[in-house]
Chains A and B, each alone.
Chain A
Amino acid sequence: MRQAIAAAIADEMAADDHVILLGEDVAEAEGVFKTSEGLLERFGPERVRDTPIAEMGFIGLAVGVAAAGYRPVVEIMFGEFMGVALDQLSTQAAKMRYLSRGEFTSPMVVRMSVGPGLGFGAQHSQTLETWFANTPGLKVVQPSGAQSAYGLLRAAIQDDDPVVFLEPRILYGEREEVDTSTYLDYEIGKARTAVSGTDVTLVALGQAVPIAIAAAQASSVSVEVIDLGSISPWDADAVAASVERTGRLVIVEANPYSGGWGAEIVAEVGSRCFGKLVAPAHRITCPDVPVPYSATLEERYIPTAESVTDQIAHLVGSGTLPEPWWKKEKR
């Protein structure tokens, strides 16, 4: 996936000389996750720029350079670092078009590595969709592999609004065939059906998508997996259409339970499809704790394909909600 990301940035920089890349270690070091390999060499130091460790400063810089006509791609090394700069993104960039009646805009992409599973500890492992999702003016996108990363990142860079591009860190090394000619098929706000099925609609985002796919494949129930791709805006029509057919909605999230993005899906689709549901909507998430470090704990923290398969079996078999594991075995 990291190479697909670098390729998407490169292809957009080649197509439009106003696209520029900035961030910590993106130029000389080619990105700490190697997501900007070859870019400094190809496009030069004016367009590929290393910044000091000053997120508020360089996100603000991106807002200003975008308002003045450029299309910056900004890299935030770990998603949590957005915390020191949230004002520039959610309060400044998101409102720039609105508060100038379209005279000044923010065609920028803020990319950040997110998600648990690599032992980076509590302050470098959150998925953070919900920091951005409830902000009109911002778009929030999360790919689930190399192909979707390529398509969605090109869409994000071409978008005239500020886009938050969340890169599941655990998938950077995942390889798959990428067809760069299909990138126009990837639209922000459009979901993709990863696996077709008839009995359960399983919705996932980012690193939860491969988990969902593996769970579906191991399931004796026919499971349809929907890769949302974006959380703001998100494809409610596609999810609702699927649930109308299957009658069951299950969501897999790589984030804590309370207030997670899946709650928004359940609220919207649960209401729209109320008469068609044959079982309660169910969310499979991480527990409401900071991400633990020790490998045994972190493995347990993230939902596994096996536990998703089991919970689907319980839901379909009994029509009742399975209990989250932490209620059964915490202490």
Chain B
Amino acid sequence: MLHRIELHKIAETTDVVVIDRWNVRVGDVVEANQSLASLETDKVTVDFTSPMAGTVTELLIAEGDEARTGEQMLVIEA
């Protein structure tokens, strides 16, 4: 089953983040809590971790681009 993973609220000061770096590629098998990406907000750099174990089938936002709270970030098959 395909899960479209949304961005949860990461920082208290803003809803906008920049994908600084994806730490996974399409085809990677991930565990729950594994780091998927490094995100930047206006104040802080944080980890975006996987809510589930599975296989990454699609990355929906490019490195360097912005995402907002609630936006879909990637697709995991589990």
Do A and B touch directly, given a CB cutoff of 8 Å in the complex?
no
Q: Which residues of A contact B (CB under 8 A)?
A: none
Interface residues, chain B, with chain A CB atoms under 8 Å away: none
